[in-house]
Structure formats: structure tokens, C-alpha cells
């Protein structure tokens, strides 16, 4: 500790005299003597003399007291200042407002020096600005340049106008230096734990106390029951790394060596399908490892990503299929016209017929794309699940050939479902054919199983439908083949993705199944392990008919309605308003209908159709319109033109599913739908049926 308050050159420790104060004291004494001189001459015995002497003495005493107070408050008491700053561990000094150092501790002398004043100029400019603020009662910060380095300083006001200046200690950042054995970047603790605490022992997630700082090469000292439930029995001394699946362990070790702090995503050795997050807590020489099972969360994330991807691909496929349907419709109508001119026996008939067959195959491809994108027109009906598979089983046995055995398992109390029968049969057939190809390619033959059942909500969730609500109808198609490799599992429902050799598959089979199941409000899940085969599980909502629906079904079964037979004569008479934005489709269809005796008014869009309908109000017998058109679409056109059409029937043609726009036709009657692509025979039959019914 060093005191700078009043030391002389010899360091005697005496206070330095203040000339102004002592000068004031001398003049005060002289003034008192001169004032007392008249009283002394007059004699102290008189009353006036006594009063004058008393007043002069009082003034002198008061003046000396004031001078004494000014000398004690102008500077700090050295002993008090020394005791104050000596208690501080950081460099500190007590200064006057003008920068004089009154007292300083040893740390200040070592850091700044023993100068009696604070540094001036550039070195202390910011500090003096802080002193001005501190003198006004504010706590201020400034900087002091010491040995070329800038040091932060804090200034605060003390009693008597003194200022305290401190140089806070600099806290250096901890630098991580990797060691030969990678240590996890985890939290620090003081004493090394000897056992798991009560919280870790009773926690619902796995916890283990490890001996050592390398988690995967450390032995387990103690494990809680939750960890044993996840990984199996964990006796003391078990290598913690043995609980982790080797591939994910290697990945976690790599991340740990890179200094990553976690959590580390690992798979369990007992069941690689289960995923857990590994957290590490480091104590002195030991680790506490926490394993949190996130399998369901990861499964839901993957399912959400898959659903979003399939939805995007479905929108693209649906748009392509719609445009392709327009082209196919124009091609098929033109072929019908050419075949009418070149009948059987004509040299051109064979070539035209081959083109027509190719067009049929293209139309089937488009139907698969529409099924995948869930934009195919469906005709839902109530189906008995057991009857559906049993009736279809005969065809399946023919498809699977002799070297593949088909085994069916019908559960009890099979439910009803409401779906399109042909679509559901297509889905099961595609799955069975894929299973057949898998077992034949792997071992020249095998077993394909089809199982149906009614599942409760819990059973459905355990078999792969996490969002199941209530009972579910269940269809499973499985095989004993090689299974699906994990690297392609996320792509199997993508359109045009196939693992079959070139020319043996289009890659639309599973994509079609996916679209059919989704359009039927169902769920599909794949369970597969390498070498153990694959199982495709379809979940459909159970249909519970209301009493009114049961009565209507019984009436319909007792008196089945006879379906109208298609007319043999396709010619007719009537005025038709044909609205289609595709010129090739509209032109050929109108020409072929005119050839069969109809009067056809053509419109290329909804606006033109409204004008024509207004001009021929009350005389139009049938409206044929596309659904999706630029400007006014088909349903909007019908609502605006209904006043001009009266009770005339309406037929919509579109490449999109009827369900896509059926909600726009609420309240409309006499409306039918014909999906694209269409041929002239089907179109002429439907036109005549509509006109006859009207």
C-alpha cells in the first residue's frame, strides 16, 4: 500500500502545508489583534471593552474552526483511504477531482506505477471524462492506456468529494485444447459422482454412470431401469459402446472427435430401428450418459416429409396427366374418324388399329398417374372385405404362377369398407405381383401371404398407423423374399422408380397403390428387414352404415335396378352446345357428332359459350363442357347459363377426377360426368342416353 496524500521529499510522512490556508489563518490572527487594540487601550474594566474583546475572541475561534474543517475535508485521511483500497483485490486508487492520486493499493502500483497523478493526454483522456461524470454522482466507465494496451476503468464518487478508480480484472476465454483421447464437450461438475442421483434413477429416459471420459469405451457403473428397458439388461461393467449399433456408433465417435457437443443421434444395438438421442454430462473422471428414445418422433418426421414429397409429385403428375388426356382424346377421336373411313379390309386398317392399341396403353398409363395423384374418378361402393379378396383370389393365383404359393388368412368379424372396387383390386394385385417378382428373383420361388382383419385402434397403431382412430380394416400383402434395402425405402412410392431390370417394370405399381389408398382415405405402411421379406399394410376406415342406409341397401337388393343398355343406333337429333378450350378435341368431336345427325354449336371458352347460350336461349338440348378452362370454368359457366338452358341436361368432360369439382355443383340436377380420354362411340352413346332421358 502506498499513500500519496502529503509525503515530502524525504518520505517523512508529514502532510504538505497548503500555503493559501495557512496564509488565511495568519491574516485572521492579525485582524483579531488589530481589532482588540482599542479595547486594550480603553481598559478591560469597562463594559464596552469586555464586550469587544469577547466578540473578537469568538470570531477568531470560529475562523480557526472553519480553517481546520477545510484542511481536513479537502483531502482524504490517508489511513482511511489506505484501509479502503487495500481491501480490494483489483488495482484501485482514491483520487481527487483534479486527478491527484491520494492513495493506491499494491496492485495499482504494479499495474500503473507510483505516479502522484493519473496519466494525462491520450493515455488518460477517456478516464478524465469518466471522472467528470463520477463527480456528479454517476457511476462511469472509461479507459486507461497502460503499456500500450487499453484497460477498462470504473470511477465512482466517495464521501468528501473523493473518487474511487478501479481497474476490473480481465477474464480470459477458455481455449479448448484437444487431447489424444477425444473428450465430449459436456457440462462440468465438481465432485465425481459415485452413484446415480434419485432423479436420474427414477427418470423415464435411460441414464448410466460411466467410468472414464470416452463414452463409447467406458464401462457402465450403474444404469437406471429405463435404460434396461430400452437396451436390455445392463450389468455393471458392460461396455457402453456395445449398447449402440456399430454404424451409428462410428458416426457419433466422429462427431465427438470433431468437438461437437451433441446430442448425438444413435441407433440401439438391440433394435436398430429404434433411434435415441445421446446426451453426456462430465464429472471428474466420470460421465453420466442419458439416452432419450425419439423413434416415434423420427417416424412422424419421416412420414410428414414423405407425405409432402408425394403431394408435390402428385400435383405434378396430375397436371401432366390432364394435359396428356387432352392430347389422347384428340388422337383417339381422329383415329375413330379414320377407322370409319378405312374399315376392316382396307390396307390402312391394320396400321390404324396398332396406333389405337398404343393409345389405349397410353391411356392406361395416364390412369395410373391419376390414381397416384389421387385425381382419378372413383365410384365408391360398400364392399365386404372378405368377399372382395376371396373373389379376387382366383385371378391372383393365375398371376402368381406355380413356383409361388399364395396363402390367404381371413380374420373374424371382417368389416365393410367404402371404396372403389376396381381400384382396390388393382392395389392388391400390384402388391401381389411385386411380391411374386421379389421371391422369384431372389430364390426362384416362395410364399406370398394376404391377410385381412379388423383391428382396434391400438392394434392399428402398433402395426404402423400412428394416426388411427377407431377400428380399421386391414389388408396385408407380405412375402418371404429378401426384403427392401434401407437405402431405397424412402423412394419406393416415387413414380417411375423401380429396382427391376430395364423393360420389366414402369415404376408406377407402388405409386398407383399409394394414390389409391390415399384417395380411399386410408393409410399404407411398409415393414421390411433385409433377409426377412417385406409386408405392405393397408389400413382403411371401417364403414358403419346408418339404419337408413341399411334399409335402402335391403330395398335395392330386393329389387335391383336394371342398368340402361347402350343404344345400338348412335345417330340422333338435337342442338348441342360443345365447350372445349382444346381446339383439336372440340373440332373433331363436333365434326363426328354432326355426322351422326346432331346440330353442334362450338365455343372455345366460357365467355363465348355464355354469348351463344343467350342467343339460343331455350333451344339448346344438351350442354357438353370441359371443366378446367381459362377464364370461366365449367361449373361457373353452368351457374351463369342455367337461365338460358332451362332443364337441358349437362355433361362435363375432364381429365381430372369428378371429386375435384363436385362440390361446385351443389344444387344442380341433370349433370353427368365423362372422364377423358374419350372415344366417339362412348361419347355418342352418352349423348343419346342423355337426350332420351330428357
* DSSP per-residue letters across 23-54: HHHHHHHHHHHHHHHHHHHH-TTSHHHHHHHH
Q: What are phi and psi of 234, to 5 degrees?
A: -125, 85
Cell 434419485 sits on residue: 198
Joined together, the cell numbers standing for residue 387 give: 368377399
The arithmetic mean of pLDDT across residues 218-239, rounded, is 86
Give the pLDDT score at 401.
74
Reported confidence tier of residue 24, pLDDT bands at 50, 70, 90: low
Q: What separation, in Å, do the N-terminal and C-terminal C-alpha atoms of the chain show? A: 116
Alpha-carbon gap, residue 391 to 171, rounded angstroms: 82
What are the tens digits of pLDDT across the range 540-574? 999 887 776 666 656 655 555 545 555 556 778 89
Q: What are phi and psi of 511, to 5 degrees?
A: -65, -40
Q: Which residues contact 523 (CB under 8 A, 6 or more apart)?
A: 465, 467, 468, 517, 538, 539
pLDDT value at 179 more than 50: no
Reported confidence tier of residue 619, pLDDT bands at 50, 70, 90: very high
Least confident of 7-11, 16-20, 523-527, 630-634: 7-11
Least confident of 198-212, 237-251, 270-284: 198-212
Give the pLDDT score at 609.
92
| SS3 labels along 90-101 | CCEEEECCCCEE
Q: What are phi and psi of 559, to 5 degrees?
A: -135, 80
pTM: 0.42
Give the pLDDT score at 172.
42
Q: What are phi and psi of 610, to 5 degrees?
A: -65, -40
pLDDT value at 184 more than 50: no
What are the tens digits of pLDDT across the range 375-423? 555 567 788 888 888 887 877 887 787 788 889 898 888 888 988 787 8
Joined together, the cell numbers standing for residue 534 give: 417385406
Give percent of the chain above pLDDT 70: 71
* Closest of 684, 682, 681, 634 to residue 661, by C-alpha: 634
The DSSP letter of residue 342 is: S
Alpha-carbon gap, residue 373 to 318, rounded angstroms: 5
Question: Is 661 buried (19+), middle (13-18) or exposed (0-12) by CB count in 10 A?
Answer: middle
Cell 500500450 sits on residue: 148
Alpha-carbon gap, residue 473 to 460, rounded angstroms: 9
Mean pLDDT of the chain: 77
Half-sphere exposure of 204 toward its Cβ, with a 13 Å CA cutoff? 2
Stretch (H or E) spanning 579: strand 575-579
Give the pLDDT score at 2.
57
Reported confidence tier of residue 443, pLDDT bands at 50, 70, 90: confident
Alpha-carbon gap, residue 7 to 16, rounded angstroms: 7
Give the pLDDT score at 174.
41
pLDDT value at 16 more than 60: no
The arithmetic mean of pLDDT across residues 486-499, rounded, is 77
The arithmetic mean of pLDDT across residues 23-31, rounded, is 66
Least confident of 75-79, 132-136, 321-325: 75-79
Alpha-carbon gap, residue 277 to 270, rounded angstroms: 15
Give the pLDDT score at 472.
92
pLDDT value at 446 more than 80: yes
State the chain's maximal CA–CA distance in angstroms.
Answer: 171
pLDDT value at 183 more than 50: no
Amino acid at each position: 500500500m502506498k499513500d500519496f496524500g502529503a509525503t515530502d521529499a524525504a518520505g517523512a510522512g508529514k502532510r504538505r502545508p497548503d500555503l493559501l490556508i495557512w496564509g488565511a489563518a495568519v491574516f485572521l490572527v492579525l485582524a483579531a489583534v488589530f481589532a482588540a487594540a482599542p479595547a486594550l487601550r480603553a481598559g478591560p474594566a469597562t463594559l464596552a471593552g469586555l464586550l469587544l474583546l469577547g466578540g473578537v475572541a469568538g470570531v477568531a475561534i470560529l475562523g480557526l474552526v472553519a480553517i481546520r474543517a477545510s484542511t481536513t475535508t479537502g483531502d482524504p485521511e490517508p489511513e482511511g483511504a489506505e484501509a479502503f483500497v487495500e481491501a480490494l483485490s483489483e488495482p484501485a486508487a482514491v483520487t481527487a477531482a483534479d486527478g491527484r492520486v491520494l492513495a493506491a493499493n499494491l496492485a495499482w502500483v504494479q499495474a500503473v506505477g507510483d505516479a502522484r497523478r493519473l496519466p494525462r493526454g491520450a493515455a488518460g483522456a477517456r478516464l478524465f471524462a469518466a471522472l467528470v461524470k463520477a463527480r456528479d454522482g454517476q457511476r462511469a466507465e472509461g479507459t486507461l492506456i497502460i503499456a500500450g494496451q487499453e484497460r477498462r476503468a470504473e470511477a465512482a464518487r466517495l464521501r468528501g468529494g473523493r473518487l474511487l478508480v478501479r481497474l476490473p480484472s480481465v477474464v480470459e476465454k477458455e481455449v479448448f485444447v484437444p487431447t489424444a483421447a477425444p473428450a465430449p464437450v459436456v457440462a462440468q461438475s465438481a465432485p465425481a459422482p459415485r452413484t446415480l442421483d434419485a432423479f436420474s434413477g427414477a427418470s423415464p429416459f435411460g441414464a448410466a454412470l460411466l467410468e472414464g471420459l470416452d463414452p463409447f469405451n467406458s464401462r457402465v457403473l450403474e444404469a437406471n431401469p429405463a435404460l434396461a428397458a430400452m437396451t436390455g439388461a445392463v450389468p455393471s461393467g458392460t461396455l457402453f459402446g456395445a449398447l449402440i449399433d456399430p454404424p451409428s456408433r462410428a458416426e457419433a465417435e466422429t462427431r465427438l472427435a470433431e468437438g461437437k457437443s451433441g446430442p448425438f443421434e444413435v441407433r440401439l444395438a438391440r433394435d436398430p430401428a429404434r433411434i435415441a438421442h445421446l446426451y453426456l454430462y462430465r464429472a471428474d473422471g466420470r460421465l453420466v450418459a442419458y439416452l432419450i428414445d425419439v423413434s416415434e418422433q423420427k417416424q412422424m418426421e419421416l412420414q410428414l416429409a414423405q407425405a409432402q414429397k408425394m403431394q408435390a409429385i402428385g400435383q405434378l403428375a396430375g397436371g401432366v396427366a390432364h394435359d396428356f388426356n387432352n392430347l389422347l382424346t384428340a388422337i383417339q377421336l381422329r383415329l375413330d374418324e379414320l377407322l370409319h373411313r378405312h374399315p376392316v379390309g382396307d390396307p390402312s386398317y391394320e396400321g390404324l388399329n396398332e396406333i389405337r392399341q398404343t393409345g389405349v396403353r397410353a391411356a392406361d398409363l395416364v390412369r395410373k398417374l391419376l390414381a397416384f395423384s389421387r385425381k382419378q374418378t372413383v365410384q365408391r361402393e360398400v364392399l365386404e372385405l372378405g368377399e372382395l379378396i376371396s373373389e379376387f383370389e382366383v385371378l391372383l393365383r393365375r398371376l402368381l404362377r406355380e413356383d409361388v404359393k399364395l396363402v390367404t388368412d381371413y380374420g373374424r368379424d371382417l368389416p365393410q369398407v367404402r371404396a372403389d372396387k376396381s381400384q382396390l383390386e388393382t392395389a392388391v394385385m400390384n402388391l401381389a405381383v411385386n411380391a411374386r417378382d421379389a421371391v422369384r428373383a431372389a430364390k426362384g420361388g416362395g410364399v406370398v401371404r394376404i391377410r385381412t382383419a379388423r383391428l382396434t385402434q391400438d392394434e392399428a397403431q402398433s402395426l404402423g398407423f400412428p394416426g388411427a382412430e377407431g377400428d380399421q380394416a386391414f389388408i396385408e400383402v407380405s412375402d418371404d423374399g429378401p426384403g427392401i434395402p434401407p437405402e431405397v425405402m424412402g423412394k419406393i412410392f416415387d413414380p417411375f422408380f423401380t429396382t427391376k431390370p430395364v423393360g420389366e417394370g414402369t415404376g408406377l405399381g407402388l405409386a398407383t397403390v399409394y394414390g389409391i389408398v390415399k384417395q380411399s382415405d386410408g393409410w399404407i405402411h411398409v415393414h421390411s428387414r433385409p433377409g426377412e421379406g417385406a409386408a405392405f399394410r393397408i389400413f382403411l376406415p371401417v364403414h358403419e352404415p346408418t339404419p337408413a342406409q341399411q334399409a335402402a341397401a335391403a330395398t335395392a337388393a330386393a329389387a335391383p335396378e336394371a342398368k340402361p343398355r347402350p343404344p345400338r343406333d348412335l345417330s340422333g337429333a338435337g342442338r348441342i352446345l360443345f365447350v372445349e378450350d382444346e381446339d383439336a378435341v372440340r373440332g373433331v368431336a363436333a365434326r363426328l357428332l354432326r355426322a351422326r345427325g346432331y346440330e353442334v354449336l362450338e365455343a372455345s371458352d366460357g365467355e363465348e359459350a355464355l354469348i351463344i347460350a343467350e342467343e339460343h336461349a331455350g333451344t339448346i338440348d344438351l350442354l357438353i363442357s370441359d371443366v378446367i378452362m381459362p377464364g370461366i370454368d365449367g361449373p361457373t359457366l353452368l351457374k351463369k347459363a342455367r337461365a338460358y338452358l332451362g332443364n337441358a341436361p349437362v355433361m362435363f368432360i375432364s381429365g381430372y377426377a369428378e371429386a375435384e369439382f363436385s362440390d361446385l355443383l351443389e344444387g344442380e340436377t341433370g349433370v353427368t360426368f365423362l372422364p377423358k380420354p374419350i372415344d366417339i362411340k362412348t361419347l355418342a352413346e352418352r349423348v343419346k342416353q342423355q337426350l332420351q332421358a330428357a
